[in-house]
Amino acid sequence: MKLIADSGSTKTDWKLITPSGEVFDYRSEGINPYFHTDDSVAKTLEKISFAPYSHADIEEVFFYSAGSNTKKSVAIMKNGFSRVFTSAEIHIKHDLLGAARALFQNDSGLVAILGTGSNSCLYLDGEIETNLGGFGYILGDEGSGMHIGRKIVREFMNDLMPRDMQDIFLNKYRVTKDQIIYAVYKDAYPNRFLASFSRFASENIHHPYISEMVDDAFMKFFERYIIQYSEYKKYNLRVLGSIGFFFEKQLRSCSGRYGIRIDKIMQAPIEGLLEYHEHH
């Protein structure tokens, strides 16, 4: 049996393919080596039920993960997986490659991930040719849910929100500045915490203050990454992730300012990855 997964910082989507071709769907929390050790990867995997099958029944695992782009991070993931999937051949791949395969299969074009984090690449004939971005929530992630959420939180912390937006914010979250500081600097997953406030932007996108904030985040993404590809106007851009999906109108509006053609926006890659692995 073959197990295929796509994991961001927040959640993991799984597809289990049986020898008869039957497909089972599962979902679990995200597994990112930036925030996990070998032990915590194994413990997270042990908690996942693949009923009616067990971990020992699986013969091959293809796991596409945010953060799995260095030898050290891949080693962390492989060590954790091998403790749990004792009979399986383990393939740990970067989520950017997963996004490219899901969006383009073996064709060519520009790929953007806009979810909890952000990333981009130029994908040519089934291979990543160039990668720009993907530096994590401290050094990058422009245009992501974390970026938008951080902008909102920063405005709140500095008392810069318009009064009507501040009232809506406090009524929705009932959070103090001290609680935000603790969550950002002490809790385990600050990127997830900050990204959760992007929902506030989605719910209030009609407000000029919020709309301008989201536009600024997307423009920074395009300026720092997409238009830095020398022939970016030659290729179509395809976008993967919940932020690209739910803010499609704003994203397309911003892309038009740079002459960027977006021909597909996909919320999650797992169906595209299933198709890829069924044919390759």
Instruction: Report the CATH number at residue 40.
Output: 3.30.420.40
Tell me whether residue 24 is in a domain.
Answer: yes
User: For residue range 92-134, what is the model confidence (pLDDT) as tens digits?
Assistant: 999 899 999 999 998 999 999 999 899 999 999 989 999 999 8
User: For residue range 2-46, what is the model confidence (pLDDT) as tens digits?
Assistant: 999 999 777 899 999 999 889 999 999 888 887 788 899 999 999
Q: Are 70 and 223 in contact (CB under 8 A)?
A: no
Q: Are 63 and 77 in contact (CB under 8 A)?
A: yes
Residue with more model confidence, 255 or 29: 255
Is the pLDDT assigned to residue 184 strictly greater than 80? yes
Tell me whether residue 90 is in a domain.
Answer: yes
Tell me whether residue 33 is in a domain.
Answer: yes
Tell me whether residue 70 is in a domain.
Answer: yes
Global confidence as pTM: 0.85
Tell me whether residue 25 is in a domain.
Answer: yes
Tell me whether residue 42 is in a domain.
Answer: yes
User: For residue range 194-214, what is the model confidence (pLDDT) as tens digits?
Assistant: 999 999 999 999 999 999 999
Q: What does the pLDDT read at residue 155?
A: 97
Q: Are 239 and 112 in contact (CB under 8 A)?
A: yes
Q: What does the pLDDT read at residue 10?
A: 75
% of the chain with per-residue pLDDT over 90: 82
Q: Nearest Cα to 12, choosing from 272, 268, 279?
A: 268
Residue 28: strand, helix, or coil: strand
Average pLDDT over residues 161-181: 96
Q: What does the pLDDT read at residue 205?
A: 97
Domain that holds residue 39: 2-98+270-279
Tell me whether residue 151 is in a domain.
Answer: no
d(CA 280, CA 274): 10
Which phi and psi angles does 124 have, rounded to 5°? Answer: -120, 120
Single-letter residue type at 102: A
Tell me whether residue 217 is in a domain.
Answer: no
For the chain, the domain total comes to: 1
